């Protein structure tokens, strides 16, 4: 295990902001991961895990150990009459894994195409898009106990999934590191195009041509049209979660703002954060090298040499203005360090 000191993290976060880690380790095996945890204990420093830095914003240097989760591997481990069981290790790139599954005829992940990040990060916040969430396709996972170094198996139910939430963000926060994830995927092509934007994009396409491959291609096209490529413009995709309000609160908001965008989610309504931010006047806003994307108000961007502190300051001003206008609180989806 090689430990690097005073390591610049600019190329390890998609905002492309400069920040220094006191120590840095590339963990590419279970052994090196355990060694890295022991190193942090020995040095008596905090540590944090990163995948591809697609959900991170460093507003300052990190005084401890940054562990890059780079443990890779994917394989078909079992099957039955209806399903394939596919296992992937935590460092696998999520978009590449989804594409591989579709190419192999392992169906069910198509709606989750092109979500940035790694396999290990996906269950933590129960990633979801276009009507599908991770909980709908995950069979189980293995996670490393941070204190004992032992692996524990979690079933889907054990993970206590909810909207952008799991037990790893709640009761077991900072106690486990996800090592591998197993998926139950369909042998027969089954598509889910109920989500509005996806259904609209596929209008006019004959039913027999709406295949899992077509759904994956369409999702990728939609995402690319909405979200800037972080290799060209620093960003972490959607900066805020879509807030949930009660039905009564939504009705009151509708009276005051007839055009407000919301979607029923059980006994609540999920508001479109992008609409709220745009109505508050932030879409396309720029000051220096920080700004809000001109095509998507939910995306904060680094136009070149912005600092993390500047981006956090902008996000906080957006939160205040949305709350002042609508009485609705926005919560960052991006992890701020």
The model's pLDDT over 221-262, given as tens digits with 9 standing for 90+, comes to: 998 887 888 888 999 989 999 999 999 999 999 999 999 999
Give this prediction's pTM: 0.86
Q: What is the mean pLDDT of the chain?
A: 94
- Summarize pLDDT for 63-110 with one digit per residue, the tens: 999 999 999 999 999 999 999 999 999 999 999 999 999 999 999 999
- Summarize pLDDT for 45-75 with one digit per residue, the tens: 999 999 888 889 999 999 999 999 999 999 9
The pLDDT assigned to 228 comes to: 86
Q: What's 294's DSSP letter?
A: S
- Summarize pLDDT for 106-150 with one digit per residue, the tens: 999 999 999 988 999 999 989 999 999 999 999 999 999 999 999
* pLDDT of 195 above 90: no
Q: Quick one: pLDDT band at residue 190, thresholds 50, 70, 90? A: confident
- Arithmetic mean of pLDDT, 209-224: 94
* Domains of the chain, earliest start first: 3-69 (3.30.43.10), 74-226 (3.30.465.10), 234-336 (3.90.78.10)
* Long-range contacts, 135-139 (Cβ 8 Å, 24+): 135/159, 135/161, 136/108, 137/108, 137/109, 137/112, 137/183, 137/184, 137/185, 138/181, 138/182, 138/183, 138/184, 139/85, 139/182, 139/183, 139/184
Q: How do strand 262-265 and strand 268-271 relate by DSSP bridges?
A: antiparallel
**Which residues form the catalytic set?**
164, 238, 333
Residues in the chain: 337
- Arithmetic mean of pLDDT, 288-307: 95
Nearest to 301 by CA among 230, 225, 242: 230
């Amino acid at each position: 295990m090689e430990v690097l000191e005073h390591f610049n993290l600019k190329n390890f976060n998609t905002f492309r902001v400069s920040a220094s880690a006191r120590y840095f380790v590339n963990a590419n095996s279970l052994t090196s991961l355990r060694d890295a945890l022991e190193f942090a204990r020995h040095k008596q420093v905090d540590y944090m895990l990163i995948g591809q830095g697609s959900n991170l914003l460093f507003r300052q240097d990190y005084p401890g150990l940054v562990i890059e989760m780079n443990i890779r591997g994917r394989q078909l481990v079992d099957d039955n009459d209806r399903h394939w069981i596919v296992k992937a290790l935590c460092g696998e790139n999520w978009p590449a894994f989804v594409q591989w599954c579709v190419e192999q005829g392992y169906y069910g992940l198509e709606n989750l195409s092109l979500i940035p990040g790694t396999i290990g990060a996906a269950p933590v916040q129960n990633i979801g898009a276009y009507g599908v969430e991770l909980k709908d396709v995950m069979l189980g996972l293995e996670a490393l106990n941070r204190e004992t170094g032992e692996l524990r198996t979690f079933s889907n139910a054990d993970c206590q999934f909810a909207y952008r939430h799991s037990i790893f963000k709640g009761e077991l926060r900072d106690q486990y590191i996800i090592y591998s994830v197993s998926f139950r995927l369909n042998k027969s092509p089954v598509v889910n195009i109920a989500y509005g934007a996806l259904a609209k994009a596929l209008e006019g396409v004959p039913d027999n041509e709406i295949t899992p491959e077509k759904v994956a291609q369409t999702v990728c096209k939609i995402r690319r049209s909405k979200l800037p490529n972080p290799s060209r413009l620093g960003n972490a995709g959607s900066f805020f979660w879509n807030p949930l309000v009660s039905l009564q609160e939504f009705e009151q908001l509708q009276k005051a703002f007839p055009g407000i965008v919301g979607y029923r989610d059980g006994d609540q309504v999920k508001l479109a954060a992008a609409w709220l931010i745009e109505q508050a006047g932030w879409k396309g806003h720029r000051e220096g090298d920080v700004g809000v994307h001109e095509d998507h108000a939910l995306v904060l961007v680094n136009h070149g040499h912005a600092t993390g502190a500047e981006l956090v300051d902008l996000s906080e001003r957006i939160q205040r203005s949305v709350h002042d206008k609508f009485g609705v609180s926005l919560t960052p989806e991006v992890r701020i360090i």
